[in-house]
Structure 1
Amino acid sequence: MYDMIFLHAPSVYDFRERATLWGPISDLIPSTPVFDMYPIGFATLLAHLQNQGYRVRIVNLAARMVRSPRFDPDRMIAQLEARVFGIDLHWLPHAHGALAVAERVKRYHPDAAVVLGGYSATYFHRELVGLPSVDYVLRGDSTELPLERLLEHTVRGTPPVDVPNLTWKTGEGEIRVNDLTYVPQVLDDLSLDYGSVVRSVVRDLDLLNYVPFSHWLEYPIMAALTVKGCTQNCAICGGSAAAARLLSGRERPAYRAPERLAADVRRLGSMSRAPVFVLGDLRQAGMDYARRFFRAVQGFEGPVLVEFFWPVDRAYAEELAAALPNFLVEFSPESHDPEVRKASGKPYSNEGIEKTIEACLAVGARRFDLFFMIGLPHQSPTSVLDTVEYCRGLLSRFDDGRLIPFIAPLAPFLDPGSLAYEHPERFGYIRHAWTLDDHRRLLLQPTWKHILSYETRWMTRDVLADVTYEAGFRLNRLKREMGLISLAKAEETEARIGQARQLMQQIESLMHQYEGTELDRALLKLKPQIDKANTSTVCDKSELDVKVGLVPFKLLNLARIGFGLDTAQCP
């Protein structure tokens, strides 16, 4: 028996039996529309508990379900044995799947404890603990020590009255909310190199349950964490400074020491030929922090993906290129319109965006991904389409194939704790969901448009969906025109957009004709077409990937890690 098993659920538990037009909600992230990527916290929690002598494992139910139609999650849950089952409810799209998994754990293992964690679990902690299937919620962005203490109480059979950050219920059903006092100010005690995950794979002779997302074996991108919390206050972000204060009691960001971060990058790069994604803008802690990282990581030649939260100048780009010659950039200005951007919490100019692109390309960036969003404050349909025209100007100016623009909707939900969620009127949002159960029920709607938890003063759900497809259609054609994608790929994407538009009309017609089980039966007749249109709707997801060769892993180094050998200096 394990002391603890972490379970990652799909967004909707029975998604394989449903006909849902998910649309472009996951086009710009590695996972599928059922959000099969578990949070990085699983790896840090696994490492921490194993270092304390506990037997722990991870089971990515969502990825298993995506990879194999024959995989039976109920059977897997029933076969597992653990004192405690941990289920992530980090991002709100898991509202249905996480609760369904919790219910099944209680059905098959009534004596086991069920604990949920993550941003969304934190926000809805009282509602969750009020459910029969949930015993505990650990709140905040750092739960390693609280979870260790909770396991101690579980083993001893004592009430967890002294476990920080814990919401729980007594034997009489009374809900208790312990103070949120565990808010570490540095991240240097965390194990962030995935070594424990690799060793667990070898120990359990079990690879498929540990993969972070379904196609990770084909594209093993790794993440290095610089920070918890943020210095920025983007209106729609559930990880903003305001959200961190509300959800995690974090008054200021906590950083990983730059030298440790550099060691993480080297260690992760020793396992995989895919990029190491450095999460968080290195400049948030100041230029001294960034320069210490650059000195420590000097000489690492693998691909590294870095984020910019605001524009950079040529001097910074040169320092970045000198330290990481194989760097790639992700920058998300959200809109071409400075007024829309300012209303979203990004008060910088188009000139700043363009100088950033120019500087990074000039110093040798391998590629520069530019992300735009649909569904922002003060954003009209005309503004969305003007963003595509702005991309045309950028691609004409920086015409060497390394600048790649993307556009997608803010979907499916507003992040709980974000400024837009907490103050919808101020930012022009009209919310359609308030409780966790509201969001869970929305996930059962037939299309992504009907799943949306919001509309804005400038765009209804109908308008937002229509302009999303049109913007995707135009940007796809622009990429083909500029030679960023092949004619064949452009035609495939255009066909998927056309099919998705047609399916949206068909589904809405069925919704007017039927309801309940009759509607479900009618929708299932469209399932083959819907499933075909669900991935890479407004762009091909492969556009996000960097070529990694036929063998994406560094197998010898993985073997060394798996058998407990040090590979920190591996090339």
Structure 2
Amino acid sequence: VADLIPSSSMFEMYPIGFTSIAEYLGNAGYRVRIVNLAVRMLSDRKFDAEAMIKKLKAPAFGIDLHWLVSSHGAIEVARIVKKHHPDSKVVFGGLSSTYFYKELIQYPEVDYVMRGDSTEEPLRQLMDCIKHGVKPDKVPNLAWKDEKGRIHENPFTHIPTDLSHLMVNNYADTMRSVIRYRDLASYAPFKGWKDYPITAVLTGKGCKENCVICGGSAAAFRKCYGRERPVFRSPEAVVRNVKQIEKFSTGPIFILGDLLQPGEDYAEEVLRGVEGVKNQLILELFNPAPPGFIKRMGQACPNFCLEISPESHDPVVRKASGRNYSNEDLERTIAEALDAGCGRMDIFFMIGLPKQTPQSVRETIDYCDHLFQRFKGDKRLFLFIAPISPFLDPGSLGFEQPKRYGYNVLFKTLEEHRQALAAPNWRDSLNYETRWMSRQQVMDSAYEAILGLNGLKAKYGIIPQGMAELGEKRVKSAQAMAQRIDEVMAGENAEEELAKLKPEIDEINAFPIVERQQLELMRGRVGLRFWRAFWAWLTGR
């Protein structure tokens, strides 16, 4: 899955909530600095993460554990913080922190775990307690240790239904912080962001959909995060963020979430508000759109990019995964988007779904061939496929009700997931298998499907032949390395022999990821507007 996001396979992105928290605490009089250690390490081999942590001085260090894939590094960072700053407090937050809070608070390096999807105000209250040396027993959503190491759990009551006080000016605030600390590198969301500054605008918290593999589904938010129904930011707030970003960046802006979830009137207000914005906008649909809506997208956002994830070509598999619509409706949506002048139409398929077999995955690639044929090799049509990896989301219906949806969940605890991330073969990091596919079959099907789709893109001229050859080389090299790793692990002196493979593994990981290159929109003059950012810092606007 990391191949289909802007970051590297190290998944070095921090959640968008960091910028909201920084703004909120800043408005309360606290000085907040974001340091993306992963980006710094990936961008500079000489960068010493421990030395950087040692140099930082703060009464509290916040560490995100939003995506579970960050769990291994997050705990290690906490240990380094405590090594050099034993009197400072370590605070964890994010959806994975919330899900695993009972286990997470037991790690000796962790002082506090803040639960929930909107923790700005509870965190402000906690900072007040730390500042004044007061017990945080009244701070909502907090799990904490007292001075004797006893664990306490405060009521989970802060679940705001109004988000108007959040993310008011967080992007301009972030740019001011970059200038204040003279440290763009630490604020970059992912490696290479300066050259491709894609940004995102959040439309709300929660979801109306119940996709079986998603830890952000309606069922997951209800059971794990206390949110009975989604809450949406106002159209004015969404538009304000888009226009704030336009001031400092010419890069694409991803409006996260289906604008139709709050209703067509809401979607129309947002589209009307972003008319005239010059940045390319990325929009997403969770289901095929009603007639006329995509045409309206094209009128408001010329050259827009549209994304939809049918998961499988097979309507039976798609329905079992929580998406219930026909291929006819999907193809109508694609046709309308292309007719409306979209600059890109991205379609995402997945491997590891309920009722999906290896043969079904092959047929998905056949369906991709059909789509390229039907739309005459339109170079704006981009198709992608990837396995659910490394984890089926905790909190998802598949994870919580595995028998009902045909999953066998192999890891349940946070520590099991952390250790799985250290497995030499990515197959062994998968926390699931299905009634229809073993982990080995998921891996084999993924390699076969990615190679097949790569060949189709070359055949129809969607990507240059050179890019296709590079993609094929990377996948085949990874496939062969997986086999060699298995052979090493089955032999003697496995650890020593595995260490000998590391330079080759690093070389394979360093290959450009063709799928990620395809996801990048046409760069042109994309970049940051540093002087505008400097003006924002001076004026506060």
Give the TM-score of the pair, scaled to structure 1. 0.92
* TM alignment of 1:9-408, pairs within 5 A: 25-191=1-167, 193-399=170-376, 400-408=378-386
Q: 1:253 to 1:478 in 2, by over 3 A?
A: same
Q: Deviations over 1:391-416 (max 9, x none)?
A: 11111111221110000000001111
Q: Deviation of residue 551 (structure 1)?
A: 5.3
Q: Deviation of residue 535 (structure 1)?
A: 5.6
Contact between 2:65 and 2:71, CA under 8 Å: does it hold in 1?
yes
Aligned-partner Cα distance in 2 for 1:228–1:234: 16
Of 536-545 and 376-385, more deviation after overlay is shown by: 536-545
Q: Which residue of the other structure, out of 416, 419, 428, is the alignment partner of 2:406?
A: 428
Counterpart code for 2:4: L
Contact between 1:201 and 1:207, CA under 8 Å: does it hold in 2?
yes
Structure 2 partner of 1:507: 485
Aligned-partner Cα distance in 1 for 2:16–2:74: 17
CA RMSD between the two structures: 1.3
Contact between 1:424 and 1:431, CA under 8 Å: does it hold in 2?
yes
Q: 1:565 to 1:133 in 2, by over 3 A?
A: closer
Aligned-partner Cα distance in 1 for 2:272–2:368: 35
Q: Which residue of the other structure, out of 483, 494, 503, is the alignment partner of 1:528?
A: 503
Aligned-partner Cα distance in 2 for 1:111–1:512: 45
Q: 1:198 to 1:35 in 2, by over 3 A?
A: same
Q: Which residue of the other structure, out of 554, 562, 565, is the alignment partner of 2:537?
A: 562
Of 239-248 and 537-546, more deviation after overlay is shown by: 537-546
Aligned-partner Cα distance in 2 for 1:448–1:274: 33
Q: Which residue of the other structure, out of 510, 518, 535, is the alignment partner of 1:543?
A: 518
Q: Deviation of residue 194 (structure 1)?
A: 1.2
Contact between 1:33 and 1:535, CA under 8 Å: does it hold in 2?
no
Q: Deviation of residue 57 (structure 1)?
A: 0.2
Give the TM-score of the pair, scaled to structure 2. 0.97
Aligned-partner Cα distance in 2 for 1:540–1:353: 22
Q: Deviations over 1:108-145 (max 9, x none)?
A: 11100001001110011011111110000000100000
Aligned-partner Cα distance in 2 for 1:421–1:534: 29
Q: Once the two structures are aligned, what percentage of the paired residues are identical?
A: 48
Contact between 1:59 and 1:209, CA under 8 Å: does it hold in 2?
yes
Aligned-partner Cα distance in 2 for 1:387–1:504: 24
Query: Structure with the greater relative contact order (CA < 8 A, sep ≥ 6): 1 or 2?
Result: 1
Q: Deviation of residue 519 (structure 1)?
A: 2.5
Q: Which residue of the other structure, out of 407, 422, 444, is the alignment partner of 1:444?
A: 422
Q: Deviations over 1:238-262 (max 9, x none)?
A: 1111111122211111111001211
Secondary structure of the equivalent of 1:190? coil
Aligned-partner Cα distance in 1 for 2:524–2:533: 17
Aligned-partner Cα distance in 2 for 1:548–1:70: 29
Q: 1:173 to 1:456 in 2, by over 3 A?
A: same
Aligned-partner Cα distance in 2 for 1:386–1:430: 24
Counterpart code for 1:499: S
Q: Deviation of residue 559 (structure 1)?
A: 2.3
Counterpart code for 1:389: D
Q: Deviation of residue 485 (structure 1)?
A: 0.6
Q: 1:535 to 1:411 in 2, by over 3 A?
A: farther
In structure 2, stretches of 5+ residues that fail to align are: none
Q: Deviation of residue 482 (structure 1)?
A: 0.4
Q: Deviation of residue 531 (structure 1)?
A: 1.8
Counterpart code for 1:502: A
Q: Deviation of residue 205 (structure 1)?
A: 1.2
Q: Deviation of residue 74 (structure 1)?
A: 1.0
Aligned-partner Cα distance in 2 for 1:303–1:271: 14
Contact between 1:313 and 1:355, CA under 8 Å: does it hold in 2?
no
Q: Deviation of residue 565 (structure 1)?
A: 4.6
Q: Deviations over 1:43-92 (max 9, x none)?
A: 00001111111011011001011111111111111111100000000011
Aligned-partner Cα distance in 1 for 2:82–2:517: 39
Aligned-partner Cα distance in 2 for 1:89–1:246: 19
Counterpart code for 1:283: L
Of 172-181 and 133-142, more deviation after overlay is shown by: 172-181
In structure 1, stretches of 5+ residues that fail to align are: 1-24, 567-571
Aligned-partner Cα distance in 2 for 1:178–1:209: 33
Counterpart code for 1:488: G
Q: Deviation of residue 148 (structure 1)?
A: 0.2
Q: Deviation of residue 538 (structure 1)?
A: 7.4
1:409 matched to 2:387? The reply is yes
Q: Deviations over 1:226-247 (max 9, x none)?
A: 0100000101101111111122
Q: Deviation of residue 322 (structure 1)?
A: 1.4
Aligned-partner Cα distance in 1 for 2:183–2:275: 35
Structure 1 partner of 2:473: 495
Counterpart code for 1:115: V
Aligned-partner Cα distance in 1 for 2:41–2:430: 24
Aligned-partner Cα distance in 2 for 1:467–1:95: 27
Q: Deviation of residue 309 (structure 1)?
A: 0.3
Of 199-208 and 262-271, more deviation after overlay is shown by: 262-271
Q: Deviation of residue 434 (structure 1)?
A: 0.7
Aligned-partner Cα distance in 1 for 2:143–2:381: 46
Aligned-partner Cα distance in 2 for 1:412–1:46: 30
1:471 matched to 2:446? The reply is no
